[in-house]
């Protein structure tokens, strides 16, 4: 796939500017010009010369001051199941990944990244083992969606579940969501955007207070404090009581139902005590549980022992125990495994 970014990375990109910011950036141009440019970018136009309703002199002037995109697609990996993973090169050479997910009901979902690498270091996640490089800008987040839309024009949903912890980059995510949901452009519904966090309590409160009103998923994985801390080191500074308080606060503020995600590993977090701890955590929350049998990633270990995906029977039994406690339980489809595009596998082609 060709690069719209070229080598003009020194110029500021316009792709990630919410309409109000774009209008300000283009002063003294009148606001209607900003709206025209915003619409072109939303349609995927990557070059000022293609913005046909702008005078040629203005197109030339804009090209001397700005770029449209800041990043470029460097590899496209399709999976036979319809999933497509893109590797994207950022202006500073960092690489990130974005994934187009196609589920059985023909719904197309874009899975976006918010950081290059991740500071959370969950032991079961390839991205977490890469270390943390930096937060992505709003442009770098929006461009992932625009690149995926070149492959599939009818993307209806977004999950912010790619590389990185979104709530540690909330300011830029907020700007990106503003661009993606603006009615003058792409006009996606915020309720079709799901942000998945590893459980940053302060970020959940910030989301509750200041929006955006997206759907929230929390990667819980284990509701026993000790086990969770060993699987997800960032939870030591976000202990379960603080996490649950933040989720209660989020729901009091009208945030709606949350999804509690649980990546399951054979013999580690599937025992009966793990199920009852998860049920106790969910008690009092409006929550559904989403079980994710772990997608194998070579070389990942838990305390010196290679992680293994759970047997179907193990998952069924865990699910049964949760349902016995009155919980709504779903199981995530497995998609994109052949291209390492499944949950926890991103970063495999660094
Ligand atoms: S699971 Fe998410 S939060 Fe944890 S290391 Fe991976 S990308 Fe970061």
pLDDT above 80 (res 89): yes
- In 3D space, the residue among 77, 75, 101, 78 whose CA is nearest the CA of residue 88 turns out to be 75
Active site residue 182: no
Q: How far is the CA of 7 from the centre of ligand 1 (A)?
A: 31
- Sign of the dihedral defined by the CA atoms of residues 123, 129, 131, 132, in that order: negative
pLDDT above 80 (res 165): yes
Q: How much is the pLDDT for 135?
A: 98
> How far is 327 from 313, CA to CA, in rounded Å?
19
Higher pLDDT, 336 or 135: 135
- Which domains does the chain show, CATH number per domain? 19-65 (no CATH), 72-339 (3.20.20.70)
14 burial (CB, 10 Å; 0-12 / 13-18 / 19+) is buried
234 lines ligand 1 (CB under 6 A): no
The structure tokens 């994207």 sit at 88
Please state the atom number of ligand 1 nearest to the C-alpha of residue 129. Answer: 5
- In 3D space, the residue among 120, 86, 296, 109 whose CA is nearest the CA of residue 219 turns out to be 120
> How far is 254 from 246, CA to CA, in rounded Å?
13
Answer yes or no: are the C-beta atoms of 74 and 88 closer than 8 Å. yes
Q: How much is the pLDDT for 341?
A: 67
Q: What separation in angstroms does the CA of 256 have from each of 51, 90, 110, 133, 156? A: 40, 35, 22, 33, 20
Alpha helices in 232-271 (DSSP H): 240-252
Strand partners, 215: 194
Instruction: pLDDT band for 2, please (50, 70, 90 cuts).
Output: very low
What element of type H or E holds 298?
none
User: What average pLDDT does this structure show over 148-153?
Assistant: 95
pLDDT above 70 (res 45): yes
Percent of the chain residues topping a pLDDT of 70? 92
120 lines ligand 1 (CB under 6 A): yes
- Active-site position among 97, 140, 143, 172: 97
121 lines ligand 1 (CB under 6 A): yes
pLDDT above 50 (res 349): no
Q: Rg of the chain over CA atoms, in angstroms? A: 21
Residue bearing the CA closest to ligand 1, atom 5: 128
Tell me the average pLDDT of the chain: 93
pTM of the model as a whole: 0.94
198 lines ligand 1 (CB under 6 A): yes
Higher pLDDT, 103 or 59: 59
pLDDT above 80 (res 339): no
Higher pLDDT, 149 or 296: 149
Instruction: pLDDT band for 5, please (50, 70, 90 cuts).
Output: very low
Could you report the per-residue pLDDT of 211-247, keeping only the tens digit for each? 999 999 999 999 999 999 999 999 999 999 999 999 9
Higher pLDDT, 346 or 15: 15
Active site residue 184: no
DSSP 33-84: HHHHHHHHHHTT---GGG-TTS-HHHHHHHHHH-BS-S-EEEEEEE-TTS-E
127 lines ligand 1 (CB under 6 A): yes
117, 125, 199: residue to mutate for ligand 1 pocket, most atoms within 8 A of CB: 125
Q: How much is the pLDDT for 225?
A: 98
Answer yes or no: are the C-beta atoms of 36 and 45 closer than 8 Å. no
């Amino acid at each position: 796939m060709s690069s719209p970014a070229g080598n003009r990375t020194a110029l500021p990109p316009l792709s990630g500017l919410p309409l109000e910011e774009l209008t300000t950036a283009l002063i003294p141009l009148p606001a209607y010009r900003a709206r025209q440019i915003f619409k072109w970018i939303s349609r995927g136009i990557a070059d000022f010369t293609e913005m046909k309703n702008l005078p040629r002199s203005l197109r030339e002037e804009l090209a001397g001051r700005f770029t449209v995109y800041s990043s470029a697609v460097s590899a496209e990996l399709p999976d036979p199941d319809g999933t497509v993973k893109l590797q994207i090169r950022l202006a500073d050479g960092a690489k990130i990944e974005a994934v187009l997910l196609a589920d059985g009901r023909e719904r197309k979902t874009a899975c976006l990244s918010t950081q290059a690498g991740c500071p959370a270091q969950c032991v079961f996640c390839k991205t977490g083992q890469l270390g943390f490089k930096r937060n992505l800008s709003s442009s770098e987040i929006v461009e992932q969606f625009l690149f995926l839309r070149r492959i599939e024009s009818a993307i209806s949903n977004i999950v912010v579940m790619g590389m990185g912890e979104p709530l540690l980059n909330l300011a830029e995510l907020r700007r990106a969501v503003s661009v993606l949901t603006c009615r003058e452009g792409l006009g996606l519904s915020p309720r079709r955007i799901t942000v998945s966090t590893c459980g940053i309590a302060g970020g959940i409160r910030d989301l509750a207070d200041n929006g955006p009103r997206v759907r929230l998923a929390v990667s819980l994985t284990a509701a026993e404090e000790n086990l969770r801390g060993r699987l997800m080191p960032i939870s030591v500074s976000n202990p379960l009581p603080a996490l649950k308080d933040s989720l209660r606060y989020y729901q009091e503020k009208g945030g709606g139902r949350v999804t509690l995600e649980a990546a399951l590993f054979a013999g580690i977090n599937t025992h009966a005590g793990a199920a009852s701890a998860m049920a106790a955590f969910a008690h009092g929350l409006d929550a559904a549980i989403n079980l994710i049998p772990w997608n194998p990633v070579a070389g990942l270990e838990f305390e010196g022992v290679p992680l293994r995906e759970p047997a179907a029977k193990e998952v069924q039994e865990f699910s049964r125990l949760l349902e016995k406690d009155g919980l709504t339980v779903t199981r995530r489809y497995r998609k994109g495994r052949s291209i390492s595009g499944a949950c926890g596998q991103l970063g495999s082609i660094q």
